[in-house]
Amino acid sequence: MVIEVSFKGNRREFFDWPYPAAPALKSAVIVEVERGEDLGHVHSTGDLALKRKEGTTHGRASSAPLRKVARAANADEIARAAQLRSEESNVRLRAIEKVRALGLDMKVSDTEWQWDKKRLTLFFTAEQRVDFRQLVRQLEGMFGTRVHMWHIGVRDEAKRVDGVGRCGRQMCSASWLPELIPVKSSVAKDQHLSTLNPAQISGTCGRLMCCLRYEHEFYVQQRKRFPKEGRIVTTALGEEKLISIDIFRETLTLRNPAGESRVIPLAQFRSETGAAPSAPTALAEGDDAPLAVDEQQVEEPAAADEAPAGLAEDRATDLVEDRTAAPAPERASGADANRNANQGAPREGGGRRRRRRGRRGGRRGNAPDGPSAPPGPPTTS
């Protein structure tokens, strides 16, 4: 059985529960980690945990076997974990002092002890790359354990620190979101939110609010039912310009050339322009049809290319056979070579260098190939 275990800072991981009875929610368990053991609390079990695991990018991409839950934690182990949580604030302050002494441009956001105290993790944010090797050596000598530095972003920092959002509720990243997905500015533009003042649409972390993604699909689907703003349309009153649309009230604001504006429902606009109520669906189906035609057009040349490829191989084979069967060209005599040199006729595969050499040979006179060949006539430049 797959269970989801939560740790400090809203960090959650998935483990294998080897026992037949499922553990109770929020119960403390000891799990196997990379170096030793750690204590966490059960967040979800069974199908829900498996669904949440498949919903995360890391869970879908990872093919490694899950680590196992060692056992359920007893009272003494829970008290030991609580003692470590109380000491982490002092550890963070001492780490910040070391960072300032070394003059490092980084911010220590949080610290976390492993339950068996074999590793201390420091979570920090930094705008640029930081060389913290000297800091790690000093911290390991101070606390007598292995120190692990973890660079996180501002969204992850807000998730670990937690807080209250602009809506007055707990941050979604710290309460229920399985993973943080980047929010692009195009999401705000599709919802007609002003991007001139980013502070109005930004969260506590300074980035665009995660909740902008919740209704984005609704805005995209609803706008497909309306024509684009600024378009000139022909209605029962003549040509009018579409000024704005209201996807919630399903109304459109039109303005005629005289400057008079009117607001009409979407159904009335379709009746005046002759657009069918199921126009978006028809367009969606019409978009699929050309794609099928394009796929056939793409597949047919691919099948037709197989014959030219075979012909090309046959032609290449014929050329090789012709070259092999063709007799070797006879070597020209000295007179012919001089005549070719004087006329400037290029030899087979020869370029400018070979023509120059032929001219030089013509001036000097080439030796005859045989005793019966007459010497070539003298050449003049």
What are 314-336's pLDDT values in tens digits? 444 443 344 444 444 444 444 44
Indicate whether 133 pLDDT > 70.
yes
Give the domain 87-159 fold: GMP Synthetase; Chain A, domain 3 (3.30.300)
pLDDT at 70: 93
CA 166, CA 188: separation in Å to the nearest integer? Answer: 17
Q: Where are the domains of the chain?
A: 2-73, 87-159, 181-223, 224-279
- Residue of 145, 161, 143 lying closest to 90 (CA atoms): 143
Rg (CA), the chain: 40
- Say which CATH class 224-279 falls into: mainly beta
Three-class SS of the chain: CEEEEECHHHCEEEEECCCCCCCCCCCEEEEEECCEEEEEEEEEEHHHHHHHHHHCHHHHHCCCCCCEEEEECCHHHHHHHHHHHHHHHHHHHHHHHHHHHHCCCCEEEEEEECCCCCEEEEEEECCCCCCCHHHHHHHHHHHCCEEEEEECCHHHHHHHHCCECCCCCECHHHHCCCCCCCCCHHHHHHCCCCCCCHHHHECCCCCECHHHHCCHHHHHHHHCCCCCCCCEEEECCEEEEEEEEECCCCEEEEECCCCCEEEEEHHHHHHHHCCCCCHHHHHHHHHHHHHHHHHHHHHHHHHHCHHHHHHHHHHHHHHHHHHHHCCCCCCCCHHHHHHHHHHCCCCCCCCHHHHHHHHHHHHHCCCCCCCCCCCCCCCCC
What are 335-375's pLDDT values in tens digits? 444 444 444 444 444 444 555 554 444 444 444 444 444 44
pLDDT at 190: 86
CA 207, CA 109: separation in Å to the nearest integer? Answer: 17
CA 206, CA 353: separation in Å to the nearest integer? Answer: 70
- Residue of 156, 162, 78, 87 lying closest to 124 (CA atoms): 156
pLDDT at 138: 95
pTM over 0.75: no
What are 155-185's pLDDT values in tens digits? 899 989 888 888 888 888 888 887 788 888 8
pLDDT at 28: 96
CA 134, CA 99: separation in Å to the nearest integer? Answer: 10
Tell me if 2-73 shares its fold with 87-159: no
- At residue 58 the predicted structure's pLDDT band, cuts being 50, 70 and 90, is low
Give the domain 2-73 fold: GIY-YIG endonuclease (3.40.1440)
What are 214-261's pLDDT values in tens digits? 889 999 999 899 998 899 999 988 999 999 999 999 999 999 999 999
Locate 59 and state its tokens: 């869970």
